[in-house]
Amino acid sequence: MIRLDSISKQNGHQIVFIEASAALNRGEKIGLVGPNGAGKTTLFRLITGQEEPDEGQVSVDRGVTIGYFSQDVGEMHGRSAVAEVMDGAGPVSAVAAELAELELAMADPDRADDMEEIIERYGEVQGRFEELGGYALEGRAREVLAGLSFSQDMMDGDVGALSGGWKMRVALARILLMRPDVMLLDEPSNHLDLESLIWLEQFLQGYEGALMMTSHDREFMDRIVKKIVEIDGGALTTYSGGYEFYVQQRAQSEKQQQAQFDRQQAMLAKELKFIERFKARASHAAQVQSRVKTLEKIERVEPPKRRQVIAFDFPPAPRSGEDVATLKSVHKRYGDRTIYDGLNFQVRRRERWCVMGVNGAGKSTLLKLIAGSAKPDDGSVAIGASVKMGYFAQHAMDILDGERTVFQSLEDQFPQAGIGSLRALAGCFGFSGDDVEKKCRVLSGGEKARLVMAKMLYDPPNFLVLDEPTNHLDLMTKEMLITALKDYEGAMLFVSHDRHFLAELSNRVLELTPEGIHQYGGGYTEYVERTGQEAPGLHP
């Protein structure tokens, strides 16, 4: 369906692809992986024709429809979320818009004289709408939006009133409703809660078209894709199998290539030693010449391209008392909505609680109450002796000084730290080379999140309160963070939609449901085994 033949592409001074080839065949589901900046988004833009390769060819079979979801959703306002989603479905959306206008006209007393004409036109348009499957389409649009956690009010309200994250879901819903022959999805798992993520996973598993996607959620990718295309160093390498299989295969081929490289280096060293030893002797001249010629013809084995993964040794957190945080009979309301009605909950030293619940269940509110950024209407929240808290929330990114660089921001916080230590810290969180000289005001949301996380963990608190800490982290940074936090001896309370993160780090689960609040000993993996569901909003 789609072929990339020996494509080369350069963006400014950066060479993105060098004679790279790959293919996406009918019904295939491919995961696109590679380090940040390797060219994943560029590849999508080449397939959709938004960019051209410098050399080589991108060919798409005639008549193939492509739906492309990117992080850049553009402007949306003036229509309902349902209308915006249906707009992606082609001609039927224009008919739906006219139908809505005619309905308004029929209800307008000032248009009474034209009523006969309006009703006649309404009949024609309604017939066309039915012909195009419009009513079924609206039902499907609402089904997709419900799957992505929209309430009825949000579906019918002005899309312009939604936050950036919800607009992303509208843009994603448009592509899903369109059901094109090929879906290109660039980070569709960002900004989704766990219930929406699992719904999307099931939708894509049942989708019969071809799919190419990127995702920083390894669990999500592993359950959908059956092939991996890796972008690295300008090349495209295809691996058959899911993400886990790719990780194993890559490690194995790296090991084999290293062994080949080492063998060849040992052989070359031996030959060079012989040449060096006998080059001045006339009796060995023929042998020396023969070996020199042989060496010149040998094709050199390259050492494996190793991904630079910087592991940072975070210093140990100071010890706290046994009781870290205690909530007694906590009541909390927002307007006429009751979030908590007499909540009792305690976090003890070395406990790692993941908080689970559907949108609006009160996950972030609980974290805010404990962090002190929200107050209970009644009841008490007490933080224990010697507790040093680190609170990560999305708004924490707003307090960075925009005029300071990444490195200055770290220096301001840790004036006693050595330059090498701070550079290593920055490198761990994806700021290598000149990135440390970027001013905070030009950082993306993801870069700001990584910088805030770096500042928090360099001088670690003994109680981490984390609200969606992995939202903007790529796979490698996420792995580094999981590795660092596995050895962390303090207490943790966190919300995350990343099942790998939940499974690796939790040892307790707090589940918030409309029926009540449940506490589970054992982590997320045990919770799934015991309840038979991966999230509270899903039922087995």
Phi, psi of 110 (to 5 degrees): -70, -15
**pLDDT value at residue 382:** 97
- Burial of residue 387 (number of CB atoms within 10 Å: 0-12, 13-18, 19+): buried
DSSP letter assigned to residue 438: S
pLDDT digits (tens, 9 = 90+) for 470-512: 887 888 888 888 988 998 889 999 999 999 999 999 999 999 9
Closest among 325, 314, 348 to 507, alpha carbons compared: 348
| Strand 2-11, strand 235-240: pairing | unpaired
pLDDT digits (tens, 9 = 90+) for 344-389: 999 999 999 999 998 888 999 999 999 999 999 999 999 999 999 9
Cα distance between residue 484 and residue 500, in whole Å: 15
Is the pLDDT confidence value at 309 over 70? no
Cα distance between residue 461 and residue 319, in whole Å: 9
**pLDDT value at residue 129:** 84
Closest among 389, 390, 387 to 323, alpha carbons compared: 387
**Which of 179-183, 282-286, 403-407 is the least confident region?**
282-286
Query: First CA to last CA across the chain, in angstroms?
Result: 37
pLDDT digits (tens, 9 = 90+) for 64-117: 989 999 877 778 888 899 988 988 776 677 787 788 889 889 988 888 888 999
Structure tokens at 44: 């999508």
Cα distance between residue 36 and residue 427, in whole Å: 13
E strand map for 259-349: 323-334, 337-348
Contact 406, 451 (CB under 8 A): yes
Using the CB atoms, write b or e for 366-382: b if 16+ within 10 Å. Answer: bbbbbbeebebeebebe
Contact 360, 380 (CB under 8 A): no
Is the pLDDT confidence value at 132 over 80? no
**pLDDT value at residue 333:** 93
Residues in the chain: 540
pLDDT digits (tens, 9 = 90+) for 143-154: 999 999 999 999
Is the pLDDT confidence value at 540 over 60? no
Q: Helix 91-106 and helix 115-131: axis angle, to 10°?
A: 150
pLDDT digits (tens, 9 = 90+) for 202-212: 999 999 999 99
Average pLDDT, the chain: 89
Phi, psi of 59 (to 5 degrees): -120, 135
Q: What is the phi-psi region of residue 258: left when phi exceeds 0, alpha when psi lies from -120 to 50, beta otherwise?
A: alpha
DSSP letter assigned to residue 439: B
Cα distance between residue 437 and residue 149, in whole Å: 40
Closest among 177, 537, 223 to 363, alpha carbons compared: 537
**pLDDT value at residue 409:** 94
**pLDDT value at residue 366:** 96
**pLDDT value at residue 296:** 86
Is the pLDDT confidence value at 308 over 70? no
pLDDT digits (tens, 9 = 90+) for 390-403: 999 877 777 889 89
Is the pLDDT confidence value at 7 over 90? yes
Closest among 492, 241, 248 to 347, alpha carbons compared: 492
Is the pLDDT confidence value at 464 over 70? yes
Q: What angle do CA 139, 140, 144 make, to 5 degrees?
A: 120
Higher pLDDT among residues 446 and 377, named by residue: 377
**Which of 41-45, 208-212, 536-540 is the least confident region?**
536-540
Helices (H), 359-497: 363-371, 406-413, 419-428, 445-458, 475-486
Amino acid at 194: L
Is the pLDDT confidence value at 184 over 60? yes
